[in-house]
Amino acid sequence: VTLLGEGWKMAFVSEEEKTEDYLFKIVLVGDSAVGKSNLLARFARNEFYPNSKSTIGVEFQTQKLDINGKEVKAQVWDTAGQERFRAVTSAYYRGAVGALLVYDISRRQTFDSIGRWLNELQTHSDMNVVTILVGNKSDLKDSREVSTSEGKELAEEQGLFFMETSALDSSNVAAAFQTVVKEIYNILSRKVM
Ligand code: GDP
Ligand code: MG
């Protein structure tokens, strides 16, 4: 992980810091229909929507995680469909310390978009954002268009974590969020505790 900017801690540790309560803003990024909203629905509510529309989206949802015996809250932000027009505003990214950069393993086009989303994320966020590249829909084995090793390679190249997930069968969903939150927590621990 590269160096964090000044103010990283101040900007992102919640008001309740004194009670050792941490709140991290995490953003979901990626093309339309890759499964961002369903990853959040699975993670936060253990639900899945076979025919989801952008209307199921919530602005953000807060989920508690246990990291090394400490309670950490992930405030996960979801888009409301504006990514279809590549019109995600800077307000969406503002203050984010973590990101899930999501593509659909059964649609190569969504993998090809990752570079642009990563660029946008880096442009709009004031600090280094702990990012995991997520190849979602790993259950769609027969229509796979992006191999696991391609995903891994891109992640290594860009210095990102990597995981394949399925919001449908729950595979790796909690693990993907946990990876990001844990890394943020570890960085803060090294920096300020
Ligand atoms: P978003 O536009 O990125 O938020 O994507 P959605 O969460 O709305 O999902 C788009 C479509 O993909 C919906 O029909 C979902 O049911 C479906 N979907 C999402 N995740 C998965 C998954 O892991 N596996 C499969 N097979 N379908 C999924
Ligand atoms: Mg959505």
**What was the ipTM of the complex prediction?**
0.99
- Residue reference for tokens 């959040």: 40
In the structure, which protein residues have their CB atom closer than 6 angstroms to any atom of ligand 1? 32-38, 49-52, 136-137, 139-140, 166-168
pLDDT tens by residue, the chain, 193 residues? 223 333 444 444 445 444 456 789 999 999 999 999 999 999 999 999 998 765 555 689 999 999 888 888 899 999 988 888 888 888 899 889 999 999 999 999 999 999 999 999 999 986 789 999 999 999 999 999 999 999 999 999 999 999 999 999 999 999 999 999 999 989 888 765 5
Give residue 53 CA to ligand 1 midpoint distance, Å. 9
Contact predicate 105/140, CB 8 Å: yes
Q: And the tokens for 88?
A: 């995600």
Sequence-separated (6 or more) residues with CB below 8 Å from residue 146? 103, 105, 108, 111, 135
Supply the pTM of this predicted model. 0.90
Spatial strand order of the sheet with 22-29 comes to 60-67, 70-77, 22-29, 98-104, 130-136, 161-164
- Expressed in angstroms and rounded, the spacing between residue 78 Cα and the centre of ligand 2 is 7
